[in-house]
Amino acid sequence: PIEEGVDYALQVLAALAQAHSVDIVHRDLKPANVFLSKGLGGVLSAKVLDFGVSKMLGAASQRLTRTGAVVGTVAYMAPEQMMDAKRVDGRADLWSAGLVLYESLAKTHPFGAAAQGPKVVTSILNDPIPLIRTHRPDVPPELEAVIARMLQKAPDLRYGSAREVASVLAPFGSVRARPVLDEIRRAPPPSGAAAPGAGSARGVGRASIPPPSSSRAVPGSTAKPAQ
């Protein structure tokens, strides 16, 4: 269900918001690293696992990662991560989160069977991302626009932080997402290093997260399909 998929996406974004607030970029977010854990009362919650190839922005230890090195799982890498994994910031994780949400709702990777082969690199770098409503027509156009913006190939055209994405996804989640949204609100905004040149960290720190299901209007939903 759409609300359930968005609720899990918001939980993933809460984990990313915490990581990005201390300048850690996951770099390998994919469905296999998002586990559903059963808590009290049998309620499922999403847990983001495997920070084994994560990057701490500005850390001297990153000298171990060569410029131009490929780090992560190719089918879920942002285009800039394919080019140089050492120089990515939190917006690369937002691309991957967009793919996870796309796949959870559409039951397919945007590039289908090609995602399992070498052609996926060329597709991610050059081909338009098919709009999610081509696979699942009942996805609201406003939600489609949010996912399309998460999957813009140029990082400057994506949202600037997990908090900003949560602010526009919130209307499509359920009331059960309210505690997660509160957690995202409390997370410190990323430092200026998290989105160099975008100016997003400052603006997103003031982003307002509306209550779940309060409205279907998406702030700034002028996003065009990823090119």
Q: What is the pLDDT of residues 30-89, one digit of tens each?
A: 999 999 998 777 888 899 997 655 555 554 444 434 444 445 688 999 999 888 877 889
Among candidate residues 199, 205, 143, 211, the one with its CA nearest the CA of residue 174: 211
Euclidean distance between CA atoms 91 and 89, whole angstroms: 6
φ and ψ at residue 94, rounded to 5 degrees: -70, -35
Is the distance from CB of 61 to CB of 124 less than 8 angstroms? no
| Cβ atoms < 10 Å from Cβ of 189 | 22
Considering the candidates 7, 28, 89, 93, report the single residue annotated as catalytic. 28
Measured CA to CA, the distance from residue 188 to residue 172 in angstroms comes to 24
pLDDT, tens digit (0-9, with 9 covering 90-100), for 20-30: 988 889 888 99
Is there a catalytic annotation at residue 28? yes
pLDDT beyond 60 at 106: yes
Q: Encode pLDDT of 139-195 as tens digits.
A: 999 999 999 999 999 999 999 999 999 999 999 999 989 999 998 988 888 765 444
* Spatial CA neighbour of 57 closest among 203, 167, 201: 201
Tell me what percent of the residues of the chain surpass a pLDDT of 70. 73
Distance CA 139, CA 123 (A): 24
